[in-house]
Structure 1
Amino acid sequence: MQRETRRSNKERTEATRAALIEAARRLFVERGYAETATPDIVAAAGVTRGALYHHFADKQALFRAVVEQEAATIAVEIERRAPATLSAAEALLAGGDAYLDAMREPGRTRLLLLDGPAVLGREEMDAIDERHGNRTLREGLVAAMRRRDISNVPVDALTVLVGAAFDRAALAIDRGGDRDAFRLAMRALIEGLLDGGTRAHDGDG
């Protein structure tokens, strides 16, 4: 009986945390971070103010949890769309398409690319990216380099540059840019890297 009670308490705790993150996400997207007050989040989540501060030190900590969850969701989708059964080159292309598709979720671009850096700072957002989206991109680039599909260049620098290009594309699409045009442009960018690897490999002979 005691074990069941502990399990039930853990489930309630997790449910409360999830409700807070879900309510906060909705309000941060609708109103923006600055215009969202913690009493509004508590009311939307249907929990007490004490419950909020049991899980999160302050509003910024709750925002950080929202951003981390969004970034993790994108990474999962990229990995789903670029499984190990694909070649390194195919995985890079599929992963890029998956990122742009995942960023179409309403509010996600604002949370990750606009409010995130403004609220948490560039350094902390970079750390979040390193755990999620940039991690999947780096792994894809490393795999392609190992297969010599891409020329062997400093992978950290390449990850930053390619990741920034994808973020700019996502921002442009969110502002009404032609999604297909940016998708084709990003695929051309990746294919250009792959072509560079092919030329380097041919030169070895």
Structure 2
Amino acid sequence: MARNTREGTEATRLALISAARRLFVEQGYAETATPDIVAAAGVTRGALYHHFEDKKALFSAVVEQEAMAVASDIDRGAAPAAKPREALMSGASAYFAAMAVEGRARLMLLEAPAVLGVERTAEIDRDNAEDRLLEGVSDCLGAAASADEIRALANLLSAAFDRAVLEIERGGDPDLYKAAIARLIDGLIPRSR
């Protein structure tokens, strides 16, 4: 019986996250009310508050799930490469593909910093995909680069990737932005690598 209770508890939690994600994408965080979430999930209000302290905590769980999905998509989508620059570009392409999932850019790049704050949003990123970019930049720069230099460049590239995703979301040509990212990387990282 305990296993069924655990499975039911997890199913309820996942139903809440799924329903909340859909509503946050459709309506935005501010316009989504908790009664709408529980109705869409088919659970009681008590179930919501059993799993999450409040709507913000539920939103955080949605963003965390999205960040894990992005990291997983990058791991699956980035092709093995012989050269560090190629690996970094492959990872960038995988990131663009992962962020093309309906509503993901809005949730992670617009709503999350506004609702959770920049620091909490950065923490979620650090807990999920940031290490992949740091590793790629480190491989490209080589052993002579300091940890601070690697982190600074990774932060700047991450911001550029995010801005490109937002522009693509607004209707920009993905190939144009991929080419721009390649030029940016080539300008920052020695070609010999």
TM-score normalised by structure 1 residue count = 0.87
In 2, the alpha carbon distance for the partners of 1:35 and 1:109 equals 18
Give the Cα separation in 1 of the matches to 2:120 and 2:82: 32
Residue number in structure 2 paired with 1:112: 108
Percent of pairs with identical residues: 55
Structure exhibiting the larger radius of gyration computed from Cα positions: 1
Answering whether residue 76 of structure 2 is matched by residue 80 of structure 1, we say yes
Instruction: State which of 173, 179, 183 in structure 2 corresponds to 1:184.
Output: 179
- Check whether the contact 1:29–1:111 (CA below 8 A) recurs between aligned residues: yes
Alignment of 1:1-205 (within 5 A): 5-82=1-78, 87-146=83-142, 152=145, 154-194=149-189, 196=190, 198=192
Alpha-carbon shift at residue 82 of structure 1 (Å):
2.6
Offset from partner CA, 1:120-141 (integer Å, 9 cap, x none): 0111111111112322211221
CA displacement at 1:101 relative to structure 2: 1.0
**Number of residue pairs matched by the alignment:** 191
Shift of 1:90: 2.4
C-alpha deviations, 1:166-203, integer Å up to 9, x for none? 00000101111111100111122223344x152xx8xx
Q: Which stretches in structure 2 are left out of the alignment for 5+ residues?
A: none
Give the conservation status (yes or no) of the 8 Å contact 1:96–1:187.
no
Matching residue's letter, 1:40: D
Is residue 78–residue 93 contact of structure 2 (8 Å, CA) maintained in 1? no
RMSD over aligned CA atoms reads 1.8
Q: Could you tell me the TM-score, scaled by structure 2's length?
A: 0.92
* Structure 1 unaligned spans of 5+: none
